Structure 1
Amino acid sequence: MSKPSAPSPRTRVRRMPERAHYEADAVTAIVDAAMICTVAFQIDGAVHAIPTLHWREGEHLYIHGAKASRMLKALVQGEACVTIALADGLVLARSAMHHSMNYRSVVIYGRFELVANPEDKRRSLRAFIDGLYPDRWATLRPINDKELNTTSLLRIPLAEASAKVRDWGVEDDEEDLSWPAWAGVIPLRTETGTPRTEDDSVLSEAPATRFAGR
């Protein structure tokens, strides 16, 4: 069975195309595994690239921020490029030129749209919080209309996206295999540390987060 083709010319992986993945499941898995994306856009001809928290619902990636944000205003007026990268392992070879890294990455092209309906905004923000801390939204002081009104919620479709992944070991030249240097992969992972409870917190036990041990 042949692999799916790139959804557009600008999403086609040209450098090391064997690492490309165009399946929707491959893209969404990486989007879900990350907390932060980088959004590139233009304002008055100047290029900006801003890291921001994101989440996914269905076939869209969501971001949020203050309604006065120049970035959010610019994103609904022009094209954007969203990138995500996760480092999974350090690949140590017998030569400096063959050292590498195992990683997962996604590039998304398109245009953000504003989510204006208050109930849609409230529901999506709940999905954002509960996605990080399962079932936490119901325990929080309810968000009020003023807070909701001063928050902009944007989303971009994942239709024009591609993933690029390296998830294997060392690729040394055959003549270097006997060189007396350690070769292998050192895995990398994200772990939560010990929670630091605020002195005035009513509860002492921290909530669980789905990113522990990633």
Structure 2
Amino acid sequence: MSETASTRTPLSPTPRSSLTRAKERGRTDRAELDAVLDAGLICHLGVVLNGSPVVIPTIYGRDGDTLYLHGSTGAGNLRAAMAGEVSLTVTHVDGIVYARSAMHFSMNYRSAVIHARPIEVTDPDERMHALRVIVEQAAPGAWDAVRSPNKKEMAATVVLALDLTEASVKVRTGGPRDEEADIATGGVWAGVLPLRQVFDAPISAPDLDPEIEVPQHVLSRVSDAVLAG
């Protein structure tokens, strides 16, 4: 069973995961790493493929201190990931920071960067568990409502596990950090334009039986305002 965030050790920086700029934005509480990862839908996986760096957007799922990825057995990027170290990042933009000077424009954000050597998951039970975790990350409640992967699908799928030990978290909040002279000069609006992601009303598949209603686990992710509108 996974440890709770309260009993786990704080994030321990390594030369790769130590912040070099804006260190005051760094976070060492593993609960903040969990929060950034759990709120995400897409990560970006950096690998070296045929001698060149490649960054791949992909879905993922977290269970405790393990992050799972999956893909086709024929995917070159996953074979490259298994061959060495990778870097993975998840970022949320929470607002655009408008300043009085162009050089002080910024963004409010939450981000996590993971460094790890992926391990291929071969145990059948863990492979199935990992796929459940990935599906539930993007679509909570869906796994129990749909058909499970069959043997043919599992044979065509690679599942990777990344340990979350070596990670960094960086967060920016608040308004602009303007120069005193620019504040005194005035005449320019400064502040934050908040940004948030929302789900719109579900759109049923064109070949769906019209008698099948949108399930509650889907509707629960849509705001009442969207459904009412």
TM-score over 0.5 for the pair: yes
CA-to-aligned-CA distance 1:20-60 (integer Å, 9 cap, x gap): 11322221211111111111111232211111111101101
Contact 2:87–2:113 under 8 Å retained in 1: yes
1:45 and 1:210 map into 2 onto residues whose CA distance is 45
Quote the residue 1:63 is aligned against: 69
Contact 1:6–1:22 under 8 Å retained in 2: yes
Quote the residue 2:227 is aligned against: none
- The amino acid across from 1:183 in the alignment is A
Per the alignment, in what secondary structure is the counterpart of residue 218 of structure 2?
Answer: coil
| Residue 169 (structure 1) aligned with residue 179 (structure 2) | no
Contact 1:7–1:159 under 8 Å retained in 2: no
Per the alignment, in what secondary structure is the counterpart of residue 10 of structure 1?
Answer: coil
Quote the residue 1:115 is aligned against: 121
Quote the residue 1:190 is aligned against: 197
Shift of 1:196: 1.4
User: Are residues 53 and 102 of structure 1, via their aligned partners in 2, closer, same or farther at CA, if it must alter by over 3 Å?
Assistant: same
Shift of 1:204: 3.2
Contact 2:11–2:30 under 8 Å retained in 1: no
User: Are residues 209 and 9 of structure 1, via their aligned partners in 2, closer, same or farther at CA, if it must alter by over 3 Å?
Assistant: farther
Quote the residue 2:134 is aligned against: 128
| Alpha-carbon RMSD | 1.9
Contact 1:131–1:210 under 8 Å retained in 2: no
User: Are residues 210 and 67 of structure 1, via their aligned partners in 2, closer, same or farther at CA, if it must alter by over 3 Å?
Assistant: farther
| Residue 37 (structure 1) aligned with residue 47 (structure 2) | no
Shift of 1:124: 1.9
Unmatched segments (≥5 aa) in structure 2: 1-9, 224-229
Per the alignment, in what secondary structure is the counterpart of residue 193 of structure 2?
Answer: strand
2:11 and 2:87 map into 1 onto residues whose CA distance is 20
Equivalent runs, 1:5-84 vs 2, <5 Å = 6-84=12-90
CA-to-aligned-CA distance 1:140-197 (integer Å, 9 cap, x gap): 1232111111111101111000011101112111222241121111110111112211
Contact 2:201–2:222 under 8 Å retained in 1: no
Unmatched segments (≥5 aa) in structure 1: none
| Residue 208 (structure 1) aligned with residue 218 (structure 2) | yes
- Shift >3 Å, 4+ stretches: 209-213
Shift of 1:128: 2.1
CA-to-aligned-CA distance 1:78-112 (integer Å, 9 cap, x gap): 11111111111011112212111101111111100
- The amino acid across from 1:120 in the alignment is E
Contact 1:31–1:56 under 8 Å retained in 2: yes
Per the alignment, in what secondary structure is the counterpart of residue 16 of structure 2?
Answer: helix
Contact 2:99–2:191 under 8 Å retained in 1: yes
Q: Report sequence identity in percent.
A: 37
**TM-score scaled to structure 2, two decimals?**
0.85
**TM-score scaled to structure 1, two decimals?**
0.91
Shift of 1:209: 6.9
1:33 and 1:42 map into 2 onto residues whose CA distance is 27
Greater mean deviation of Cα atoms: 65-74 or 171-180 = 171-180
Per the alignment, in what secondary structure is the counterpart of residue 141 of structure 1?
Answer: coil
2:198 and 2:179 map into 1 onto residues whose CA distance is 35
1:93 and 1:55 map into 2 onto residues whose CA distance is 36
2:147 corresponds to which of 138, 141, 149 = 141
